[in-house]
Amino acid sequence: MQPGRWTRVLSQEQPEDRWEVEALFDLCFAPGREALSSYRLRDGADPVRDLCLVARQDGVVGGAIRFWEVQIGTARALLLGPIAVHPTRQGEGLGAELMLTALERAAKAGWDRVLLVGDAPYYGRFGFQQLEGVHMPPPTNPARVLGLALVPGAWDGVAGDVTQPG
């Protein structure tokens, strides 16, 4: 192993990881992150546990990703987020590894589509594209509503408000 190289261990997030992962999200995102529209879709809902991952080195969380089930009209989708990498681990490809591993798991678990709110130039490298006609709760910039089809055509004809499943 190279000096300074981080050995990545990805594992499913466990309930006992919650506070350490929340501290990572607090560190990586602006204060008030829970006021964002995507958090309203998560309020009172459980994450899709099988897809929520943490990356550790020597027992310390260096990155994490979470997913939530949402509904758009009659279509089910995964809402990706948050995803974060500790500032001391950024630039090492950990975020991409978390993203690709989680998306592969989602596809294997039978999910068809993934939704997120983010920067198209960044997430475009993973295949995410701006969605037309899919509306996140306000105030969300429509240009930041992105989707990825895990199976061809999964977003065809899907439109409407994003809501909690019900």
Task: Flag whether 2 is in a domain.
Answer: no
Tell whether 28 is covered by a domain. Answer: yes
139 cis-preceded (ω within 30 degrees of 0): yes
pTM: 0.90
Residue span of the structural domain in which 156 resides: 9-163
Owner of token pair 């009209």: 73
Judge whether 125 lies within some domain. Answer: yes
Q: What is the pLDDT of residue 3?
A: 44
Tell me, yes or no, whether 144 lies in a domain: yes
Spatial separation of the C-alpha atoms in residues 45 and 40, rounded to whole Å: 10
Rounded average pLDDT over 142-161: 97
Q: How many domains does the chain have?
A: 1
For residues 45-64, average pLDDT: 92
Confidence of residue 64 (pLDDT cuts 50, 70, 90): very high
Please give the Cα distance from 62 to 28 (Å, whole number).
11
| 3-27: pLDDT as tens digits | 455 566 899 999 999 999 999 998 8
CATH number at residue 113: 3.40.630.30
State the alpha helices, DSSP H only, in 109-150: 120-123
Name the range with the highest mean pLDDT among 3-7, 37-41, 122-126.
122-126
